[in-house]
Structure 1
Amino acid sequence: MNDFLRKIHLVKDISIQLPVSKIDFIQKFRNHVDQSDLSFVPFEVFQSSRNEYKGNISNNSFELRKRRKLFDTNYSFAKVTGHFTEENNQLNINAEINGFRKRMLLFLGIVVMFYSIFLFASLFLGSDSTVPFFILPFLLFHMSLMLGIPYFVIRRSVKRMIYDIERDLHYWVTKN
C-alpha cells in the first residue's frame, strides 16, 4: 500500500541538511512547534497559538503537522515523520511526508460501493432496458470528480508541506 501511495505522490520522502547541532535543533523545534500527540481535536481551529505547527520530538525523531486554522484554505492534511542524525556539525534529516490517512479508506470504500451499486442497478435492474444513454457517462464523470478532487487536494497538501517544512526548518536554524 505504501509503495502505491508513493507512486501516486501521496507519500514523499525528503532529505534536509541543516548547519546546526542536534541539541540546538531540538530546542528550536520545541520553541516553534506546540507539543501534541497529533490525535484528532474537534475544535482545533478555535485554539490560539503563535506556532504554525504542532507535534512532538524525541531524541532522534519527530512528528509534526500544520495547525488547522479558521478559514484556512491550505487543507493541511500532510503529516511529517522524520529521523535526524548529527554528523560533522551538520544535522541530516530524513523525513516522510504522508498525506493519506487510514480513515480515507472508509470514504473510498463507501464511494466505490455506492457507484458499484448504482451502476449495477441502473444497467441490470432497469425495467425493459430503458435506461437513458446519458446515465453511464454522467455517472463516470461524477465518480471521477468524487474520487479525483480529494486526490488532487491531498497531493497538493503534500507538495505544499514539502515546501513549507524545508523553508521553515532553514528559517528556524538561521534565525537568532
Structure 2
Amino acid sequence: MNSFFKSIGLYNSLTIDLNINSSELTKRLMKVTYKTNTAFISLEKDTTIPTRFEYRGMIDVNSFTIKRRGRLFDMNRSNPVLRGTISDKNGTSSVSVEFFPSGFQILNWIFILCFCFVITYANITGDKQDVMFAVVASVIAITQYFILKRGISRGKYEFERELIYIAQKP
C-alpha cells in the first residue's frame, strides 16, 4: 500500500540522527504523547485530551505509531499518521519515520471521487448536459487531494522540528 501512496504523492519518509540515546528519546516522546489505540477513531475526542500532549498513539521500546492531535477550533484536520522506528548507534539514536494519511482521510477522499464519477456519469447519460455539477465535483476531489498532500509535508516538517526540540531539551 505504501508504494501506491508513494506513486500518488501521499507518502513521505524521514531519517534523522539525534545526539541522544534511544531510551531517553522514547521517554521524552512518551511525555508528549497521549496513549490511545492506533485506529485513531476512539470514543475520546482530540479536544478532550489534556493540552500538554501534542500527539496521540502508541509508543513501544523501538517503534511508534502516532498522530498529531487536533485542537479546539483547529482548521488543519489533515494530520498524517506517523509510523517510525528508533534505533541506537553508539549513543546516538536514528529515527526513521513514515508519513501517510489515515484510513478515514483516504476513505473520505474515495467517497468524494465516487461522488465525482457518479455526477459525471449522470450528466453524460442524462438528457440535460449540465457541466457545472461535474466541474464542481472535480474541483472538490482535486482540492481534497492537495489538502492531503500538504498535510503530509506539513506533518513531516513539524515532526522533524519536534524531534530536534525533544533531543535538545535538557
- State the TM-score, normalizing by the size of structure 2: 0.86
Q: Residue 104 of structure 1: CA displacement? A: 4.5
Alignment RMSD: 2.1
Larger Rg: 1
Going from structure 1 to structure 2, the CA distance change for 1:88 and 1:4 (only over 3 Å counts) comes to same
Q: Quick one: distance in 1 between partners of 2:48 and 2:9?
A: 31
Going from structure 1 to structure 2, the CA distance change for 1:31 and 1:160 (only over 3 Å counts) comes to same
Going from structure 1 to structure 2, the CA distance change for 1:94 and 1:143 (only over 3 Å counts) comes to same
Partner of residue 55 from structure 1, selected from 39, 54, 57: 57
Going from structure 1 to structure 2, the CA distance change for 1:49 and 1:18 (only over 3 Å counts) comes to same
Match of 2:41 in 1: 40
Q: Point out 4+ residue stretches in structure 1 off by more than 6 angstroms.
A: none
Q: Quick one: distance in 2 between partners of 1:160 and 1:44?
A: 19
Q: Residue 36 of structure 1: CA displacement? A: 1.8
- Pairs within 5 Å for 1:15-164: 15-38=15-38, 39-42=40-43, 43-99=45-101, 101-104=102-105, 106-126=107-127, 131-132=128-129, 135-136=130-131, 138-164=132-158
- Greater shift after overlay, 138-147 or 115-124? 115-124
Q: Residue 44 of structure 1: CA displacement? A: 2.5
Partner SS state of residue 5, structure 2: helix
1:167 equivalenced with 2:161 (yes/no): yes
Q: Percent identity?
A: 23
Unaligned 5+ runs, structure 1: none
Q: Quick one: distance in 1 between partners of 2:22 and 2:110?
A: 43
Q: Residue 90 of structure 1: CA displacement? A: 1.5
Q: Residue 108 of structure 1: CA displacement? A: 4.4
Number of aligned positions between the proteins: 168
Q: Quick one: distance in 1 between partners of 2:81 and 2:156?
A: 10
Checking the alignment, whether the CA contact within 8 Å between 1:68 and 1:76 is kept in structure 2 is: no
Q: Quick one: distance in 2 between partners of 1:81 and 1:70?
A: 25
Checking the alignment, whether the CA contact within 8 Å between 2:86 and 2:94 is kept in structure 1 is: yes
The superposition leaves residues 25-45 of structure 1 with CA deviations (integer Å, 9 ceiling, x where unpaired) of 111111222222233135322
Going from structure 1 to structure 2, the CA distance change for 1:36 and 1:121 (only over 3 Å counts) comes to closer
> Which residue identity is paired with 1:119?
T
Going from structure 1 to structure 2, the CA distance change for 1:8 and 1:175 (only over 3 Å counts) comes to same
Unaligned 5+ runs, structure 2: none
